[in-house]
Amino acid sequence: MRVISLNAWGGRLVDNMVAYLADAQPDILCLQEVVQTPDSPADLLEYRDDGMQLPQRANVIDDVAKALPGHAITFCPAARGNLWHGDQAVPTYWGLATFIHPRLTLVGQVQGFVHGTFGTDGFGDHPRSRTGHVARVWHPDQGFLTVGHMHGLRDMAGKMDTPLRSEQARRFGDMVKAVHQPGDPTVVCGDFNVLPGSETLRILARTTPYDLVTSRGHDGTRTSFYEKPEKFADYMLVNGPLKDADFEVVRTPEVSDHCALRLDTV
């Protein structure tokens, strides 16, 4: 089975992203920073906050679904706030999504908040609410697989360890433990927004002790579109049955300011 984790960057490189995913055809896609805008007046909207104005695709889920027809989609929104179309405020949902191939049978899952609660009246101040999703699937030839992902807290001070990040990791770890069963190959991934060696990774290592990004010598997970010097944000952790699996930090094509992380379980 093929698992891909990717921060979609609000769909700012949507054509590249859709073309890559159509070619890669993941069995499970863990997608963070997903925008979904019911009845949007335009395909492209604008995010305005923190002194920034950033383009955002109005319906990233719909964009990606074109590349992965038939995949079941679970959207896990963290908040509902406004994007903008000129002077018009457009209510928009923001969170993460999981796409699962129809050949897989979903036999267990947990969706919930690893920080905060659902924001009904705006995206909120940083650190904003965050969700996580864990799914256990069964393949008729390859058996069971548990996959979980989250989008970690953004702290305006940086990517250092904080009590909130530690609590977030514990909540996410509890979600994974509630779904996976003994013997399951297990994958924990996402844009964690932390540095190598962080407490977040140590907490998650209780279930998935092998960090494929740093243990295999990768020097970061950001693309040329990310201009800051610190290049680590995204991780994929696995347990024993997957510690030697084929893994790639995808450098080309560039589909976001984050690299896609790809794992083939067999």
Q: In this predicted model, what pLDDT tens digit does every residue of 181-210 receive, in sequence order?
A: 999 999 999 999 999 999 999 999 999 999
Beta-carbon contacts of residue 248 (< 8 Å; ≥ 6 apart): 261, 262
Strand, helix or coil for residue 156: coil
Angle among Cα 256, 260, 263 to the nearest 5 degrees reads 170
- In this structure, what token pair is assigned to residue 151? 């989008």
Radius of gyration from C-alpha coordinates of the chain? 17
Domains and CATH numbers, the chain: 2-264 (3.60.10.10)
* Section 81-97 average pLDDT: 97
- What letter would DSSP give residue 119? B
Q: Indicate left, alpha or beta for 184 from its phi (over 0: left) and psi (-120 to 50: alpha).
A: beta
Specify the pLDDT at position 51: 77
* Section 120-148 average pLDDT: 95
Taking a C-beta distance cutoff of 8 angstroms, is the pair 74, 65 a contact? no
Specify the pLDDT at position 144: 98
Gap between the Cα atoms of 142 and 103, Å rounded: 11
| Helices and strands, number each (H, E), in the chain | 5, 14
Q: What is the pLDDT of residues 24-81, one digit of tens each?
A: 999 999 999 999 999 999 999 999 987 789 999 999 999 999 999 999 999 999 999 9
Specify the pLDDT at position 198: 97
Q: If we measure between CA atoms, which residue out of 209, 124, 115 comes closest to residue 162? A: 115
